[in-house]
């Protein structure tokens, strides 16, 4: 079954916005099945006038305002109930939290040590908390990851200079941080681009 996205209009309220994206599913015979919808909630009017905009326009306005679109869970479990259940799970324990350079919330949780979280970052990639904080507060690029509208990739440059009468650039690393805002999951991973373990000098740089 081929999946074709039809970007539909979004309904925007005065104090909040709800967008409905409608993916159309086309069968082998080319007949469209009933569309499924994905509903997003975002705080603020985002400077949008009227009650109908394209999903592309809503995404751009949300990104510009620093308010990522949050998919509304329609499974019957409220976000509050989900967070209550997660609070009793050790891997969801909060290690640290701060704001990125645009004031957006960043969370660092213990994680499962394999797929995400602080336990993975410190043991596999040899990073410090200060490195992660610095990357989210001094990044040159922040983009959505390819798989999600709530997951962002931060990129920051770390440079090593050797100075005498003048200074010479000796090394450079791109420090990456992937952060998931849905359910406040937080930092998924952080690493130096192209490496498993960041060089020791990067620890001192930040």
Cα radius of gyration (the chain): 20
Of these ranges, 73-87, 122-136, 154-168, the one predicted with the greatest mean pLDDT is 122-136
pLDDT reading at 6 higher than 50: no
Do 54 and 60 meet the contact criterion of CB atoms below 8 Å apart?
Answer: no
Per-residue pLDDT tens for 90-123? 889 999 999 999 999 999 999 988 889 999 999 9
Q: Mean pLDDT for the chain?
A: 73
Residue 194: which of 162, 166, 172, 179 has the closest Cα?
172
Q: Which pTM does this prediction carry?
A: 0.59
List of residues 6+ apart from 16 with CB closer than 8 A: 41, 42, 43, 44, 45
List of residues 6+ apart from 9 with CB closer than 8 A: 20, 52, 53, 54, 55
In degrees and rounded to multiples of 5, residue 186 shows phi and psi of: 95, -150
- Mean pLDDT of the 135-149 span: 86
Beta-ladder partners of 180: 151, 186
At 105 the pLDDT is 94
At 203 the pLDDT is 82
pLDDT tier at 186 (50, 70, 90 boundaries)? very high
């Amino acid at each position: 079954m081929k999946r074709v996205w039809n970007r539909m209009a979004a309904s925007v309220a005065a104090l909040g916005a709800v967008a409905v994206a409608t993916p159309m599913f086309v069968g082998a015979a080319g007949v469209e099945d009933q569309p499924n919808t994905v509903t997003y909630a975002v705080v603020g009017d985002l400077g949008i006038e009227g009650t109908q905009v394209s999903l592309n326009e809503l995404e751009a306005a949300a990104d510009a305002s620093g308010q990522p679109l949050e998919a509304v869970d329609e499974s019957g479990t409220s976000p509050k109930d989900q967070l209550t259940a997660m609070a009793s799970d050790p891997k969801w324990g909060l290690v640290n939290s701060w704001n990125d350079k645009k004031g957006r919330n960043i969370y660092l949780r213990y994680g499962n040590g394999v797929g995400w979280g602080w336990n993975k970052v410190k043991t596999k990639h040899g990073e410090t908390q200060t490195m992660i904080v610095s990357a989210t507060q001094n990044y040159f690029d922040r983009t959505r990851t390819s798989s999600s509208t709530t997951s962002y990739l931060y990129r920051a440059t770390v440079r090593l200079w050797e100075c005498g009468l003048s200074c010479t650039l000796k090394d450079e690393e791109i420090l990456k941080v992937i952060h998931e805002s849905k359910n406040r999951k937080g930092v998924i991973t952080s690493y130096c681009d192209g490496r498993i373990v960041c060089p020791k000098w990067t620890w001192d740089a930040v």
